[in-house]
A and B are shown apart, each in its own frame.
Chain A
Amino acid sequence: MINNLAVYPILIPLVAAIIQLFFAKNTFVQRVLSVVSSALILIAVVFLYIDVRTNGIQVYWMSDWVAPFGITIVADLLACFMLFLSALASLAMSAYAMVDIDANREKYFHFPLFQLLLMGINGAFLTGDIFNLFVMYEVMLMASYVLLAHGSEARQLRGSLHYVMINLFASTFFLFGIGLIYGITGTLNMADIAVAVQNADPDTQGLLTAVSMMLFVVFGVKTALVPLFFWMPDAYPQPPVATAAMFAAIMTKVGVYSITRTFTLMFPGDEFTLTVIKIVAVASMLIGVLGAIAQTNFRRLLAFHSVSQVGFMVLGVGFFSPMGLAGSIYFVMHHSMIKSSLFLCSGIAERLTGNRDIKKMGGIIEKHPFYSALFLIAAFSLAGLPPFSGFFGKLILLFAGAELNEYIFLAAILVGGFLTLFSMVKIWQMAYWGKREPEFNKVKVGSFIWGIIILVGMSMVLAIFVQPVYDMVLEAAEQLLDPSQYINAVLRK
């Protein structure tokens, strides 16, 4: 069961970044390498997924130290899905970045930093060690911080300063939590922790629950749940749009992934934790989207939506049923495709109008109907209108809620959907409608939309093949709800 494939998603971007640094002056080689790296990861992930499906969870021992003593890399179905999404997003963003990133950023390590970000993200999905998860978060945080501040403009530095301070502050609690976990269980391996938690005496259980809540807050900051989302809407409008899209597509999902992992494997949800998770999720769903409604800056509006949409995913975890978790994974997939394509759309609109404020845009559909149609599909998908992927994401969650008789959450999902539609309609009528004879900057829209076409196309695949996709994510969800599979694979029981 030791499988080299499992480390490739970490190794490939690392190697690519190092090679790119050697070609610091030759940005063409860097660009091509970015695309190649993403494509290679994608291939590796597909093979890894096939392995996991046929042979069960795959494990790799770093430096050949046996679990729980060394650091274990673990690829289960959920990790495979997340890796697939990160590879897909990075492929689309690399394609978009081919034409988007300005020469100055290219010269100063945009591409290697992007690859290292990818390495951190993939590492977070794969690691089976809680301290290593912390390290991967650090890699991710550092890379994303530099990508955010890249450009050294005053407003960038301001936005990114909050970002890094808040995230470091949260990391402190992460470290504190890890220390407490080690103190109670004497181990850092997540499977081993799970065993220790199962065997803990009742008196210790409460302490473990408290620790798990601390981790929830930490991941809540990282993934921007209400009321911990403050850094995000200021950070996302800063970087080049391809980077922002990458953050939205996959970086916020690392937090969702960590929450899922924490509350299925290490600290299986009990009534208290699940209630907390569900309440926070609903608060995010509703307050996040209200935040979006208030904005007129295209990207800030989208950033607020991430707060709201993450709530839907976390709500699925809170349901803690096979269908709820499957819905959560489906929603993650849908959202990473749709939200990143919306960010890319906003980039084109910014280029066309030379503005970020939708109040100052208008009439895009008159000149660019095809691109406008792509935006509209993505926007309605985000709002959960049928027959797009967002509708099915919500439908699965609605079914999950109805099966558990949790009707109040059904109402929250529907209200959240309505407000999302409101904000999408707001963008559409202000930026895309409105003028009969608009004047735009000269932009070769055709060369920008390929990334969007890939992503929107993939989301349509999710929608049309909802049953097979659901079956796949359900399998992952069932694996999550049976942690013994993970534990046995890692600890060789």
Chain B
Amino acid sequence: MFSVLWVVFIPFIFAALTPLIQKFIGEDRIGLWGVIAALLSFGGVLSLAGYGLGDEPLYVIYEWAPTFGLTLGFYIDGLSWLFAFLISGIGVLINLYAYWYLHKPDPFGRFFAYLLFFMGSMLGLVLSSNLIILIIFWELTTISSFLLIGYWSHTERARYGAVKSILVTSVGGLAMIGGAVILTVITGTAEFPELIKKAAFIQEHALFFPILLLLMLGAFSKSAQSPFHIWLPDAMEAPTPVSAFLHSSTMVKAGVFLIARVHPIFSGREEWILLIASIGLITMVLGAYYALRKVDLKAILAYSTVSQLGLMIMALGFADVLGAKATAFHIMNHAAFKGMLFLVVGIIDHETGTRDISRLSGLRFTMPKTAVLAFIGAFASAGIPLFNGFLSKELIFEAAYDQIGVASWMAVFPVFAVVGSILTFTYSMKIFFRVFYGEEAKELPKHPHDPPFGMLFSPGLLAAVTVIVGILPFIAERFVNAATAAITQQPADFYLTIWHGFTPALWMSVVTVAIGIVLYSRKALLEVLHSKPPFGLTVNAMYDWWYPNIMLGAEKLIGVFQSQKIRFYFMYILGMVVVLCGWVLIRDGHFRFIPHDLMHAETYEYLGALAFILATIGVALFRSRLAKVISLGVVGYMLCATFIVLRAPDLALTQLLVDIVTVILFVLVIYFLPQLKEVKESLSVKIRDLAVAGLTGAFVTVFVLAVYAHRHTTSVAEYFLDNAYELAGGTNVVNVILVDFRTFDTLGEIIVLAIAGLGVYALVRMGVAHKKKKDSSI
């Protein structure tokens, strides 16, 4: 239990301490800190081998937030242990390699902090027993990948790649969260072991496919499946150790891991095969095709990774034991040979200054050790016997061939598996022969030579694994069996051998190699493949169109609301009020003119109301400010008159005073104001404004009348009238309300006035101060 926490949190703790340690041991040596962290974590993983390779998985949980099915839980079985083994093991090698790879003025500390942060997140992802915790770690790997791709953020391409990666993968990440929430709500748990028990229930649920699709969007975007594959090639802007670690051997396999993890929960229905195997197949062929067309070594490897991930996902999509076994084996092999190839490309880039295969050739003379490594990597990738890639690829062929028995249309799988493999064979040969054979390249940016031992060690070790597993595959048996058992939830007991006899899979391999050789040796055929892109509209072009245009579109949309014209702002407010309230009134039949006791008004009251209305219209229509103010004054006086009619003389008096003061103030201020600008409005604008004003007026009138018809029968006012003298000692009820019953309101209003006073004082004084400053500066 302790060792699980150790494995996951040691990298985080070490990452957090990096800035501090860097101060003590110096920036140059901080790489060793990373190596130590990775080694400690790797040691922890090894100590868990008993669970990973044995029969009994380890399952520990700590409660976190049970309401949301959140437990900090860890589940160590063959699948998660295999991944943890690869992540921490390759992590050690990558940290070691990066120690030699980085050079000034790159900030070392930040690099290793990010790298360890990633490693912890990735280990957490594979070891967690809880879908939501898995997603949390998943997003952490997205964040760390974003930071690592943007490590050389002073280059435009690095920023572009980083942004693309986080945007594309978070589309899937967010979809996954949605799927996980729905799944948790319908099953009541997010724990994988529990979910597996409820597999039958989930598969019969009406929301089965939406949940599966949402989760798979996450897996596909992370594992760069078509059409989400676009982020991975641009992620190659990261330093090469990052590409090797995150973007080929570990993080991009998170999607494969997730599919394997939920395999026992979701597989069995036809949607699984249709969705997953097809996407895998398409990606595999497309990725290999694009890889063949590229000239940048890292771009070739990126698309090759896309293609290989597709291959694994296709095999998992078959939902059978053989597919699971083939995938488990290929995950291991691919991590070794592709990670190694990336490191080799890093060496080539480092020592020659370029990754362009049209400029590189004949490096075998100057970089013989590197050439050996590249040979092993390329041949493993091509699927040549005696290298590990051959073995797992043959298993996948076998699994694909078996699908013909399931349904005849599924013959597309073996056919296209061969097509993809032919392309793979061809670009693999290109990587090796173009770069290391032929004339010795001249005019390279740097003078090429083999790198120091430190940089050869990591790829060398991976190359050794590639060859040893290729020749003696039984070494990997326990790993593969344990992982297969975990994926299928059935005991697995296979033997891995080189020779299976003359099986269909072998013939598929033979065909692959034969056509591949022809394709590679006939320049004309290669030219055809290189000539023109298959589609005018690529996903990349869509992304590049969308990115600036969503900002432009958003700007236009916001312009609709933020017109900077206060008139429109008022219209929106009035519109909202009238529409929302008006709709309710109409719905409930209140929108009618009720001629009840209100009609008992005297003639002079009607006349007053008319004056009221005319004066209000006048405020809007008069051209000069003075006339407007006077008209406003009339409105005020009519209000006073209303108070008098309603027998509230003290209110009327107050209102009168306020009005007089306001009008005087206005008249005084008008003198200082600039001339009113005459604005010519078109007729349609006038009609629109009139409609808004008219509608609002009508609405308010109807509303008030309706409320009046339903007015209260009792109110707090009676209490005030009854008790003003007795309890509050005042005879003027209004005064008593203001200074006693509701004195807190009065306090508030006094404060408002005080603030206004302070504000005016401050504004005037500060304005004067500004002016002085400006004057003196001139």
Q: From the candidates B135, B140, B714, B744, name the one contacting A71 in the complex (CB within 8 A).
A: B744
A302 interfacial by beta-carbon distance below 8 Å:
no
Q: From the candidates B135, B708, B720, name the one contacting A183 in the complex (CB within 8 A).
A: B708
B464 interfacial by beta-carbon distance below 8 Å:
no
Distance to closest chain B CB from A348 (angstroms): 19
Inter-chain CA distance A185–B159, complex, in Å, is: 61
A-contact bits for B229-265, CB 8 A (1 contact / 0 none): 0000000000000000000000000000000000000
Contact between A229 and B561, CB atoms less than 8 A apart = yes
A162: B residues at CB distance < 8 A: 566, 569
Inter-chain CA distance A429–B164, complex, in Å, is: 12
B430 interfacial by beta-carbon distance below 8 Å:
no
A380's nearest neighbour on chain B, judged by CB, is B143
Q: From the candidates A113, A210, A231, A276, name the one contacting B758 in the complex (CB within 8 A).
A: A113
Inter-chain CA distance A132–B67, complex, in Å, is: 38
Which residues of B from 335 to 373 have beta carbons under 8 Å from A? none
Q: From the candidates B135, B572, B756, B758, name the one contacting A228 in the complex (CB within 8 A).
A: B572
Contact between B154 and A363, CB atoms less than 8 A apart = yes
Contact between B745 and A71, CB atoms less than 8 A apart = yes
Q: Which of B575-583, B640-648, B677-685 contacts A (4 or more CB under 8 A)?
A: B575-583
Which residues of A from 414 to 439 have beta carbons under 8 Å from B? 414, 417-418, 421-422, 425, 429, 433-436
A403: B residues at CB distance < 8 A: 185
Q: Which of B45-53, B435-443, B522-530, B549-557 contacts A (4 or more CB under 8 A)?
A: B549-557
* Interface residues of B, dominant DSSP: helix
Contact between A146 and B707, CB atoms less than 8 A apart = no
B572's nearest neighbour on chain A, judged by CB, is A227
Q: Which of B170, B720, B743 has the most CB of A within 10 A?
A: B170
Contact between A142 and B759, CB atoms less than 8 A apart = yes
Contact between A184 and B707, CB atoms less than 8 A apart = yes
Contact between A294 and B767, CB atoms less than 8 A apart = no
Inter-chain CA distance A417–B580, complex, in Å, is: 28
Distance to closest chain B CB from A383 (angstroms): 9
B558: A residues at CB distance < 8 A: 287, 290-291, 294, 304
A402 touching B762 in the complex, CB below 8 Å, given contacts A70-B741, A203-B710: no
Inter-chain CA distance A435–B175, complex, in Å, is: 34
A123 touching B171 in the complex, CB below 8 Å, given contacts A166-B566, A183-B707, A414-B177: no
B533 interfacial by beta-carbon distance below 8 Å:
no
B196 interfacial by beta-carbon distance below 8 Å:
no
Inter-chain CA distance A405–B170, complex, in Å, is: 24
Inter-chain CA distance A38–B587, complex, in Å, is: 48
Contact between A149 and B763, CB atoms less than 8 A apart = yes
Contact between B703 and A210, CB atoms less than 8 A apart = yes
Inter-chain CA distance A113–B763, complex, in Å, is: 13
Contact between A421 and B756, CB atoms less than 8 A apart = no
Inter-chain CA distance A92–B182, complex, in Å, is: 38
A411 interfacial by beta-carbon distance below 8 Å:
yes
A47 interfacial by beta-carbon distance below 8 Å:
no
B107: A residues at CB distance < 8 A: 366
Which residues of A from 30 to 72 have beta carbons under 8 Å from B? 62-63, 65, 68-71
Contact between A186 and B572, CB atoms less than 8 A apart = no
Inter-chain CA distance A210–B744, complex, in Å, is: 29
Contact between B577 and A123, CB atoms less than 8 A apart = no
B618 interfacial by beta-carbon distance below 8 Å:
no
A206 touching B177 in the complex, CB below 8 Å, given contacts A425-B166, A429-B159: no
A119: B residues at CB distance < 8 A: 751
B-contact bits for A115-158, CB 8 A (1 contact / 0 none): 01001000100000001100110110011011001111100000
A460 interfacial by beta-carbon distance below 8 Å:
no
A429: B residues at CB distance < 8 A: 150, 153, 159, 162-163
Inter-chain CA distance A29–B533, complex, in Å, is: 72
A166's nearest neighbour on chain B, judged by CB, is B569
Distance to closest chain A CB from B248 (angstroms): 24
A: number of interface residues (CB 8 Å): 115
A-contact bits for B67-80, CB 8 A (1 contact / 0 none): 11010000000000
Distance to closest chain B CB from A480 (angstroms): 18
Q: Which of A93-101, A390-398, A441-449, A450-458 contacts B (4 or more CB under 8 A)?
A: A390-398
Q: From the candidates B573, B717, B745, B759, name the one contacting A146 in the complex (CB within 8 A).
A: B759
* Interface residues of A, dominant DSSP: helix
Contact between A209 and B755, CB atoms less than 8 A apart = no
A-contact bits for B52-73, CB 8 A (1 contact / 0 none): 0000000000011111101000
Contact between A186 and B714, CB atoms less than 8 A apart = yes
B588: A residues at CB distance < 8 A: 203, 205-207, 209
A433 touching B713 in the complex, CB below 8 Å, given contacts A230-B561, A410-B178: no
Contact between A294 and B554, CB atoms less than 8 A apart = yes
Contact between B181 and A387, CB atoms less than 8 A apart = no
Distance to closest chain B CB from A220 (angstroms): 7
A-contact bits for B705-717, CB 8 A (1 contact / 0 none): 0111011111111
Contact between B110 and A276, CB atoms less than 8 A apart = no
A188: B residues at CB distance < 8 A: 716
Inter-chain CA distance A123–B139, complex, in Å, is: 41
Inter-chain CA distance A363–B758, complex, in Å, is: 42
Inter-chain CA distance A62–B743, complex, in Å, is: 8
A165 touching B566 in the complex, CB below 8 Å, given contacts A63-B744, A207-B707: yes
A206 touching B587 in the complex, CB below 8 Å, given contacts A138-B752, A436-B154, A467-B66: yes
B434 interfacial by beta-carbon distance below 8 Å:
no
A150's nearest neighbour on chain B, judged by CB, is B762
A142 touching B711 in the complex, CB below 8 Å, given contacts A207-B588, A293-B550, A425-B167: no
Contact between A169 and B573, CB atoms less than 8 A apart = yes
Contact between B752 and A184, CB atoms less than 8 A apart = no
Distance to closest chain A CB from B229 (angstroms): 19
Inter-chain CA distance A204–B182, complex, in Å, is: 40
B68: A residues at CB distance < 8 A: 395-396, 399, 466
Q: Which of A104-112, A252-260, A352-360 contacts B (4 or more CB under 8 A)?
A: A104-112
A170 interfacial by beta-carbon distance below 8 Å:
yes
B759: A residues at CB distance < 8 A: 113, 142, 145-146, 149
A180: B residues at CB distance < 8 A: 703-704, 707
Inter-chain CA distance A410–B142, complex, in Å, is: 22
Contact between B178 and A414, CB atoms less than 8 A apart = yes
Inter-chain CA distance A204–B588, complex, in Å, is: 9
Distance to closest chain B CB from A196 (angstroms): 8
A314: B residues at CB distance < 8 A: none
Contact between A135 and B166, CB atoms less than 8 A apart = no
B740 interfacial by beta-carbon distance below 8 Å:
yes
Q: From the candidates B19, B573, B745, B749, name the one contacting A221 in the complex (CB within 8 A).
A: B573
Ranked 5 nearest A-B pairs via Cβ: A186-B715, A206-B588, A186-B712, A433-B153, A146-B759
8 A-B contacts, Cβ less than 8 Å apart? A14-B751, A113-B759, A149-B759, A210-B584, A227-B576, A276-B580, A290-B557, A386-B136
Q: A166-B569, A230-B572, A385-B142 are in contact. List 18 more A-B contacts (CB 8 A).
A: A69-B741, A108-B761, A132-B742, A138-B748, A138-B749, A150-B766, A152-B767, A185-B712, A210-B584, A210-B590, A230-B563, A276-B580, A363-B154, A395-B132, A395-B177, A425-B163, A425-B166, A466-B64
Please report B residues at the A interface, Cβ cutoff 8 Å.
Answer: 19, 63-68, 70, 105, 107, 110, 132, 135-136, 139-140, 142-143, 146, 150, 153-154, 159, 162-163, 166-167, 170-171, 174-175, 177-178, 181-182, 184-185, 550-555, 557-558, 561-564, 566, 568-570, 572-573, 576-577, 580-582, 584-585, 587-590, 700, 703-704, 706-708, 710-717, 719-720, 740-745, 748-749, 751-752, 755-756, 758-759, 761-763, 765-767, 769-770
